[in-house]
Structure 1
Amino acid sequence: MQKGIRRLTCLLPREEPSNNARSQQESARKYRWTRVTHDPISKSPPATTPWQPGVLQRFPWGGLLALLASLTSIIASSVTLALSNERPQSEWSLSPSVVLAICSTVGVASLHYAKSEAATLSWWISALQGGTIADLHRQWAVSTGIWSTLRFWRHFSRNSLATLGVTLCFVVAPLLQRASSVDSRPFAHPTTVSLAAATTDANFNTAMPMGSGWSAEYAPVVFMASNDGRAIKNLSDGAEYLGCPGTLTHRRCNITTGLVEYPVTIANHSLSLRSPEPQTFPFYPFAPWSVAGISAAAKYILNSSITLELSVLGYNSSLGPFVTQWDADFDGRLAADYIDAAKSNSNSCAMNITDPTEKVLSGLHELFLRTGLAAGQAKPVHIQTIDAEETIETLVYVAKYEYLIGAIVIMVLGIGSVAVSFHGWWQLGRPVSMSPVETANAFDSSLMRDEALSNASLDTLLKTVGERQIKYGVVQEKDDPVLRLGDPDVVVAPAKGECFR
């Protein structure tokens, strides 16, 4: 033998010669081994295919990569939910529900492919290990669907476990769809705001010293001087003056800034409020905001008071005052509008004043609206750009991890059940499939007989006998007709009611 040349040697069975028909049937089971040598230098194909088992030679790359794809899909689903939780819809061009649907489809489809590969390996391993024809049939049947698995529950196998696990994985897709939902949240994010605000007080020419606490020295400042000779009176709640009872009612309202919607009517370039009660939107806690300018304008427009003074026309030391009259002093625009003249008497202290609260609030809303409109059209001065945090009501994705955990558990169980079915792949000596062509060859079908084909792969079988014409029908075997696959030239179509053995 030349150096560097390897020769492949296999042992093939050869039938012994016989002299009569009976001895031929007996000799069909008797063989002697013949040595066949293949020289790689020769251009002719090998006479046979060797049996080559092993871990790496027969490693099921396709099936195990499909299991890895299924595991990757459930990891991708978990990452998608974690990244989208409490995040605005605007940040996702492709919604998480679509991503989860893609992941579940890829994962379940990969698991189905892996289960198909594992079922094929498991069937051939069972055939290699030996058993009855019924055992092989059940191994194949349970891999086709859940119904056969339940039917043959007494013969539970690794293929049965894989079928149950993969069937259960059909609920993974709806679970992942429920794992992501949409809700509204007040979402805060940093931003910059341009405000018309001066850095220091402007347009002043003097200052008032201010100190912290009561120990500072203050210069006396006269804000208003009055010397009209009127007596100072204490108007307390429920006070009585010279036997004339009266009730002074106080109403306090807390007016804060907020976002409201005013119903208005615009006619002939004139705007008016249709309702004094605006629609108030949900209130969010804002930092204190100064409305000193609004407050000053409101005081000027709405601040009013009524002062009642008793005029004494005569006085007797024993009888006291006689011929009294009440004088009313009005201050402000609203004061005179709210005296109930029908129930009032200038000669008595019975002065009835109606509640002006509704009018005051309506005036404030009018002032707020018109001030806001004017401010929006005014040219800002002292513009500053400051950092701020904007809070808006927005739609965000919300993750429901309980559904994700359920999908993960089911998917992992399915992957584990399929992985078990790959056990023993190293015992096989060639690539296998569940093609009818290959299984027919394994069952020594008369249609598949050819020399050197007993250990041929599916591709080799198709190249050798793939073009052979066959037909299913009636074949005359000895004295009785049978249904078989055979040569179309000798096969006859079966007739209705015809019996076969």
Structure 2
Amino acid sequence: MEENRYPKAFSTWSSFTSSFQYESVSSPSDKNSSQVELVERRGLVEEAKASSRKYQNPHSCFRAAQGFDPDEDVYPSQTDTLSDSQVQEDGENRLEGRPWQVGISTRFPIISFVCLLVILSSMTGLIVVLLISDGKNTETWDSRTVNIANHHRKWTVSVNTWIAVLNFIMGKALAVMFAEAVALSWWVSALKGQTLECLHFQWEVGQSVLKILLKRRFWGWVCVASIAFTAFSGLEALLQTASSPTTSLSSYNTSMTATLANALPAGFSGVIASWGHDAFGVEYYTPIFVEVLQNYTVQSRIRLDLDGCPSTPNAWCAINVPGVGFQYTCTAGRNGTDYARISAEHPVGPESTLFQVNFQQGAWSILLRASWKDAPGSTGPVIANRNCTLTPALVEYPANVTQQTVTLESPTSTVTWTSNSTDFGNDTLSVDKVLQVLPMLDYDKTQEANSFPQPGSHSTLGGISLALSRLFDSSISAQFDPTNNGARLSLQGSFIAPYAQFAQGTANTGIMNNTFSSPMDQLLTNIRDIMFRSSIAIAQHNITDYVLSNGLTTEEFQSSAVPAQPYTGPAAYFIYETVYKTNKAILGVGIGLMLLAILAILPLYRGFWRLGRKVSLSPLEVAKALHYSTIITDSRTASRETHSVLDAKDRSDRLPQLGSNFNDDELVALLGNVKVKYGEVAPHVLGMGLDEYTDSARNGRLYH
């Protein structure tokens, strides 16, 4: 036939001409009618050719190919038949296709493999970032100094930024993997043979997991993979919560340097004056000790320059520094009271001391006497007493320094009890550790030996003893007086204010049922505060020793020697800092579920080696496969005709075509049950044909 000379024209124009033709009728009685229809058909073809030339643009991509003249070439109609020999001859003479090449190495999805490596690498990087950043400062983590226009700028990439970037990379890489996996799975299903409804559902689920819910179907592994792919995005959000900033206390061991007094300067605290005829003693304080007492009274902050300790509000340093204090040697005992001892001659009982604190100066010490009634009643040993000797010593102060402000920590040692102590119970009395007992200064030895010291001369311990006496000397005493409506009370000193509480009243018979708490802990704490402030003041103000000129007590001067030196010792640096806290449970769950999501997608690649070319779900590629891809042999006439799997069944005339304005759901309802197969629909021609008319594609065979 004339038409068989142009197989390309046949394939190109068959769809166009099919809309203008009718099926021929083989009945003899309709022969004349067939001839009329043939004439009409030829006329319509000529009309279509003329219309094509009329609208042909020489600059259009639709213009006639070189060497092909629509006026000369004949456009075969769809009903023209092709014999097997003609199709075979055309396949042998006009092979211009490419071979169908299958195999694992040939069709290995290299893009998906690269994406998988990218995902695993990003996942590893994510784990490393989260583990390394755990406990790291948010301001110094991964910080870089960048030189921009000769200006150095600090550039920091936060952990959340790293998580977001790596999640973005993993998400995009997995999207590429999933898209390729869906395409491969779709074409592999088509190779095996599948209904149009199933193929359409595979494509829908690959586009959106929502289709599983809308269609209420769960067909095949593609549904599992689609759910896993969608869940992967949710897991990315979960991993964002795996690291969060939190306030943490960090400590670092280091060494720091501080300067405190290591001894008391001679004549440091008091000034001697006459308080009576030929009676001399310390009556007032030196200027530096006045400052110490004023700061103690108002409890002003203690300032210490601690070299090596940062001056930031969220940090502090802990160090044990040596300074001047006391060694405490104490005796513990108990005694009774004569409160109710009265007679006819003495109807008023003797004065009984219920509470007392007293300081006295010794040669090179200070004596502390304290007593308090700690048991109810008036008979028996109801009074506890403590007598302590305070000897100047170099002690160790545990201190915390915050922004150059010092606070003392609890003492680390206890007082030394004498062997004649009879009852100290659980009263351990914490004091600072003694490093060295300080010997009596020559200056004080000379002053002690002089019965008539020079007024205006100084005393090393005298001012301290005087201050302790004026600050803390106090007493509570009571007398039994049956002639009075209540016992006679006497309260002395301001220190007793928090202790002078009479819960049992002050009647003659009830006052002795009152008890008082021990003042010792508070006394030792206050003395400690004063001595620590003195140690710092001596070093900060460079207080020097007083020296007697040529051993004479009438002349003295200040030397240049300051009893203070820098001390460098081990210290701890504590800081409240904002650090990254990694939730390892969330990290483990997130990474584990991500790996499961990836594993759920991998089965979609099953069978990729059966494909003979690179495939996609491009509309052009799919449309090409579906376009008149089946050649059906008419059982009545033995003629062969092209047929599209999208043609409506049971429509022999196929005019008009059904479904040209149908949506996808309507098309599935119309054509969904058609079982198709992608393979060889004609010699050297691949397409999506009806399953029963389509052969499997052959490896190595050339196809147009």
Q: TM-score, normalised by structure 2?
A: 0.42
Given the superposition, is the C-alpha separation of residues 386 and 140 from structure 1 closer, same or farther in structure 2, using an over 3 Å criterion? same
Match of 1:83 in 2: 132
Q: Give yes or no for the alignment of 1:430 onto 2:613.
A: yes
Match 1:129 to one of 188, 192, 211: 192
Q: Give yes or no for the alignment of 1:74 onto 2:112.
A: no
Match of 2:57 in 1: none
Match of 1:411 in 2: 594
Match 2:338 to one of 240, 257, 264: 240
Tell whether the 8 Å contact from 1:142 to 1:159 is kept in structure 2 after alignment: yes
Whole-Å separation in 1 of the counterparts to 2:181 and 2:605: 5
Match of 1:352 in 2: 491
Match of 1:33 in 2: 88
Match 2:256 to one of 188, 193, 218: 193
Match 2:101 to one of 48, 52, 58: 52
Instruction: Note the C-alpha offset of 1:428.
Output: 0.8
Match of 2:236 in 1: 173
SS in 2 for 1:186: strand
Match of 1:218 in 2: none
Instruction: Note the C-alpha offset of 1:341.
Output: 11
Instruction: Note the C-alpha offset of 1:96.
Output: 2.2
Instruction: Note the C-alpha offset of 1:173.
Output: 2.4
Equivalence map 1:362-401=2 (5 Å): 368=532, 372=536, 375=539, 382-383=565-566, 388-401=571-584
Whole-Å separation in 2 of the counterparts to 1:161 and 1:398: 34
Match of 1:144 in 2: 207
Tell whether the 8 Å contact from 2:206 to 2:222 is kept in structure 1 after alignment: yes
Given the superposition, is the C-alpha separation of residues 14 and 339 from structure 1 closer, same or farther in structure 2, using an over 3 Å criterion? closer
**For each residue in 1:100-124, what CA deviation from the matched residue of structure 2 results, as whole angstroms up to 9, or x when unmatched?**
2222222222212211110011111
**For each residue in 1:305-341, what CA deviation from the matched residue of structure 2 results, as whole angstroms up to 9, or x when unmatched?**
9xxxxxxxxxxxxxxxxxxxxxxxxx933467x4689
Greater Rg over alpha carbons, structure: 2
Partner letter of residue 142 of structure 1? V
Given the superposition, is the C-alpha separation of residues 117 and 237 from structure 1 closer, same or farther in structure 2, using an over 3 Å criterion? farther
Given the superposition, is the C-alpha separation of residues 368 and 285 from structure 1 closer, same or farther in structure 2, using an over 3 Å criterion? closer
SS in 1 for 2:99: coil
Partner letter of residue 353 of structure 1? Q
Whole-Å separation in 2 of the counterparts to 1:102 and 1:83: 17
Given the superposition, is the C-alpha separation of residues 173 and 341 from structure 1 closer, same or farther in structure 2, using an over 3 Å criterion? same
SS in 1 for 2:605: coil
Match of 2:168 in 1: 105
**For each residue in 1:126-154, what CA deviation from the matched residue of structure 2 results, as whole angstroms up to 9, or x when unmatched?**
11111221121111111111111234454
Partner letter of residue 79 of structure 1? V
Tell whether the 8 Å contact from 2:353 to 2:475 is kept in structure 1 after alignment: no
Whole-Å separation in 1 of the counterparts to 2:410 and 2:247: 14
Given the superposition, is the C-alpha separation of residues 54 and 260 from structure 1 closer, same or farther in structure 2, using an over 3 Å criterion? closer
Partner letter of residue 51 of structure 1? W
Given the superposition, is the C-alpha separation of residues 435 and 411 from structure 1 closer, same or farther in structure 2, using an over 3 Å criterion? same
Whole-Å separation in 2 of the counterparts to 1:382 and 1:104: 59
Tell whether the 8 Å contact from 2:188 to 2:607 is kept in structure 1 after alignment: yes
Tell whether the 8 Å contact from 1:344 to 1:352 is kept in structure 2 after alignment: no
Given the superposition, is the C-alpha separation of residues 26 and 148 from structure 1 closer, same or farther in structure 2, using an over 3 Å criterion? farther
Tell whether the 8 Å contact from 2:263 to 2:563 is kept in structure 1 after alignment: no
**For each residue in 1:281-302, what CA deviation from the matched residue of structure 2 results, as whole angstroms up to 9, or x when unmatched?**
9x79999975889x99997656
Instruction: Note the C-alpha offset of 1:160.
Output: 1.1
Whole-Å separation in 2 of the counterparts to 1:61 and 1:251: 92
Q: TM-score, normalised by structure 1?
A: 0.56
SS in 2 for 1:57: coil
SS in 1 for 2:492: coil
**For each residue in 1:350-395, what CA deviation from the matched residue of structure 2 results, as whole angstroms up to 9, or x when unmatched?**
6533462789667865765575466457699654655654333333
Whole-Å separation in 1 of the counterparts to 2:411 and 2:91: 93
Identity %: 24
Instruction: Note the C-alpha offset of 1:21.
Output: 5.5
Whole-Å separation in 2 of the counterparts to 1:251 and 1:73: 75
Once superposed, what is the RMSD of the aligned Cα atoms?
A: 5.3
Tell whether the 8 Å contact from 1:121 to 1:432 is kept in structure 2 after alignment: yes
Tell whether the 8 Å contact from 1:86 to 1:397 is kept in structure 2 after alignment: yes
Tell whether the 8 Å contact from 1:261 to 1:279 is kept in structure 2 after alignment: yes
Instruction: Note the C-alpha offset of 1:238.
Output: 3.9
Q: Give yes or no for the alignment of 1:157 onto 2:227.
A: no
Given the superposition, is the C-alpha separation of residues 70 and 304 from structure 1 closer, same or farther in structure 2, using an over 3 Å criterion? same
Partner letter of residue 402 of structure 1? A
Which moved further from structure 2: 75-84 or 117-126? 75-84
Equivalence map 1:190-269=2 (5 Å): 190-196=253-259, 236-240=334-338, 243=341, 244=350, 245-247=352-354, 248-249=371-372, 257-259=398-400
Partner letter of residue 138 of structure 1? F
Match of 1:223 in 2: none
Tell whether the 8 Å contact from 1:125 to 1:427 is kept in structure 2 after alignment: yes
Tell whether the 8 Å contact from 1:240 to 1:246 is kept in structure 2 after alignment: no
Match of 1:269 in 2: none
Tell whether the 8 Å contact from 1:165 to 1:417 is kept in structure 2 after alignment: yes
Given the superposition, is the C-alpha separation of residues 79 and 237 from structure 1 closer, same or farther in structure 2, using an over 3 Å criterion? farther
Partner letter of residue 605 of structure 2? F
Tell whether the 8 Å contact from 2:205 to 2:211 is kept in structure 1 after alignment: yes
Whole-Å separation in 1 of the counterparts to 2:398 and 2:242: 39
Instruction: Note the C-alpha offset of 1:411.
Output: 0.4
Given the superposition, is the C-alpha separation of residues 374 and 153 from structure 1 closer, same or farther in structure 2, using an over 3 Å criterion? farther
Instruction: Note the C-alpha offset of 1:240.
Output: 3.4
Instruction: Note the C-alpha offset of 1:430.
Output: 0.8
Match of 1:117 in 2: 180
SS in 2 for 1:47: coil
Which moved further from structure 2: 363-372 or 153-162? 363-372
Given the superposition, is the C-alpha separation of residues 56 and 241 from structure 1 closer, same or farther in structure 2, using an over 3 Å criterion? same
